[in-house]
Amino acid sequence: MQKYKIMALTKALSFQKLYFFLSILILKHFKTPQKNNRENTNNNNNNAASQFGFHRFQILAQNQDLKDRILIFNVEKALLRSSSLFPYFMLVAFEAGSIIRALILFLLYPFIALLPEDFALKIMVMISFFGLNKERFREGRAVLPKFLLEDVGMESFETLRRGKKAVAVSELPQVMIESFLRDYLDIDCVFGKEMKVFCGYFVGLMEERRELIVQDNVLHVLEMNYDVIGITGFKGSFDYQWFSCCKEIYMVNEQERKNWQQLPRHLYPKPLIFHDGRLAFKPTFLAALAMFMWLPLGVTLGMIRIIVALTLPFEISIPIMHFTGIKIRTLNPPTKRKNNKSKNILYVCNHKTLLDPVAVSYATRSHLTAVTYSLSRMSEIISPIKTIRLSRNRDKDAELMDQLLSQSDAVVCPEGTTCREPYLLRFSPLFSEIRNEVSPVALNCHVSMFYGTTARGMKFMDPLLFLINPWTRYSVCFLDVVRCDKNTRGDYCDYDDNSKFKVANLVQNKMAKALGFTCTKLTRKDKYLILAGNEGIVTHGNAR
């Protein structure tokens, strides 16, 4: 009997050892032990106290003599104003994944927020990145920079700009922050966490250590430089390996970060002209809650708006649209023609959404024909006005537009693609070859929840997402007529071999002045190379 008791006790102890062994392995892989981290951090900080001193960030912000200093800073704690990283992972989950993935992250976040900071970050990375294709992931370049730039503190960034060189250190994945810091803020070196990849897909885990060869080379250069300053936050521990080469470390507290001003657009080292994604708002937890609650009602409202636009005349549909949240403000409306023998008008407008021609049609209270370079089948089906697709063959398109204008008024967007920001892309001069008299129309549009355009997503969803917004504001401003020959009314260009380019540039400048936008020489090709990694050439039926 005693023998069986000993054997049972031995088995129990063996099972207990196996259980603890497996538990240690799991915790070691998924979670950094907090106790050990605190002990190591305290020891490192105590040992480092003799190497460098800790100071408040306000002292460094007032120091103007930083031109010979190298500044190492923590992105989350010393550059961004917000202390929550949830909105950026929600953007990845929604834009790169799906609405289902975003809903899962949203539902789990209240529990994730209760976990230790390091473990919570790993869980959000797992939910947002697991199963995403590495080669197709462009949200770090096309979506996140806009929202990250809006979260940059002006006081912090101005301090970093005064240094000789800035080195960014982050616990976030490298693919989320690299383009934002390098391309738009001109940060010299960026070091985030590398994502583990299997067969070309993210597995949702981050490398525990950065690339040692690169890291050691950088640290070696920093250690040789005597004037290295670190900037981090009070909350949590800092990466001792990176900040060990600093002579001084300046700390930023949470209240100070909240009081920072937002970095104005005109202070961006490089302008943000193009960005992609469907969400027009920063998806904080409460904002995401409002979005998920609105979607069922929004889909119903969108269907009602489509039916109203397709079936009712302007006199009835416009007030209904206004009542449901789509408001079109018309400035300098054109006078009605006295007879039908007048030449048909070619309206030339900048491009904000696919519904630009519809907005012009509503503003003029007339059924126009929209001349587009490309359009999805869904957009053609639900369009309340006639649409004509161009072939991008200059001769054929010129002949087609000439025939069209002999039948009715038309509207064309010579930019060839949409631009969300206050910039105008280069205008194609094709419209000036068709008519020596055009009517420019300056358009601006503001949406509350979803963008109705995309460079990489499903194009058939563009008009649907636009129409399910809670509210939308369209501004339609009719400008003076532009002519290619001298006349007593309107602007004009002397006719010569380059007149078509002069007209295109003149129309672009007039629109930019009316809207307060900036003219650029960028084209449709430039936009798609930046956002989608291609030239925007697609097959028929998947038009962009």
Which pLDDT tens digit goes with each residue over 338-368? 555 567 899 999 999 989 999 999 999 988 9
Per-residue pLDDT reduced to its tens digit, 14-40? 444 444 444 444 444 444 444 444 444
Q: Is the confidence at residue 217, as pLDDT, over 80?
A: no
Q: Is the confidence at residue 7, as pLDDT, over 90?
A: no
Q: Are residues 320 and 263 in the same domain?
A: no
Q: Are residues 205 and 296 in the same domain?
A: no
Distance, in Å, from the CA atom of 108 to the CA atom of 114, rounded to the nearest integer, reads 11
Element (H, E) at 460: none
The residue-averaged pLDDT of 461-468 equals 92
Q: Are residues 306 and 381 in the same domain?
A: yes
Neighbours of 389 (CB within 10 A): 16
* 119 located within any domain: yes
pTM of the full structure: 0.85
* 40 located within any domain: no
Q: For 12-16, 98-102, 242-246, 297-301, which range has the lowest pLDDT when averaged over its residues?
A: 12-16
Q: Are residues 261 and 386 in the same domain?
A: no
pLDDT at position 226, please?
Answer: 60
Q: Is the confidence at residue 111, as pLDDT, over 90?
A: yes
Q: Are residues 423 and 516 in the same domain?
A: yes
| Residue scoring higher pLDDT (335 or 476) | 476
Q: Are residues 236 and 308 in the same domain?
A: no
Strand runs labelled E in 145-271 = 165-173, 189-193, 195-198, 201-206, 228-233, 248-252
Q: Is the confidence at residue 209, as pLDDT, over 60?
A: no
Q: Is the confidence at residue 179, as pLDDT, over 80?
A: yes
Q: Are residues 508 and 370 in the same domain?
A: yes
* 28 located within any domain: no
pLDDT at position 38, please?
Answer: 43
> Quick check: helix, strand or coil at residue 531?
helix
Confidence of residue 263 (pLDDT cuts 50, 70, 90): very high
Where among 237, 267, 297 does a domain terminate? Answer: 267
* 465 located within any domain: yes
Neighbours of 11 (CB within 10 A): 10
Distance, in Å, from the CA atom of 310 to the CA atom of 379, rounded to the nearest integer, reads 12
Q: Are residues 191 and 152 in the same domain?
A: yes
Q: Is the confidence at residue 5, as pLDDT, over 70?
A: no
| Residue scoring higher pLDDT (27 or 177) | 177
Type of residue found at 139? E
Confidence of residue 220 (pLDDT cuts 50, 70, 90): low
* 508 located within any domain: yes
- Expressed as residue numbers, the domain containing 255 is 53-267
* 16 located within any domain: no
Where among 238, 267, 296 does a domain terminate? Answer: 267
40-76 CB burial, b ≥16 within 10 A, e <16: eeeebeeebeeebeeeebeebbeeeebeebbbbbbbb
Q: Are residues 191 and 311 in the same domain?
A: no
Distance, in Å, from the CA atom of 420 to the CA atom of 458, rounded to the nearest integer, reads 18
Residue 435 near residue 414, CB atoms below 8 Å: no
Q: Is the confidence at residue 4, as pLDDT, over 80?
A: no
Distance, in Å, from the CA atom of 33 to the CA atom of 393, rounded to the nearest integer, reads 64
Q: Are residues 210 and 247 in the same domain?
A: yes
* 143 located within any domain: yes
Q: Are residues 312 and 239 in the same domain?
A: no
Q: Are residues 250 and 354 in the same domain?
A: no
Closest CA to 423 of 298, 199, 268: 268
Domain of 131: which CATH number?
3.40.50
Strands 195-198 and 201-206: antiparallel
Where among 267, 302, 325 does a domain terminate? Answer: 267
Q: Is the confidence at residue 125, as pLDDT, over 60?
A: yes
Q: Indicate the number of domains in the chain.
A: 2
* 506 located within any domain: yes
Per-residue pLDDT reduced to its tens digit, 33-76? 444 444 444 444 444 444 556 788 888 888 878 888 889 999 99
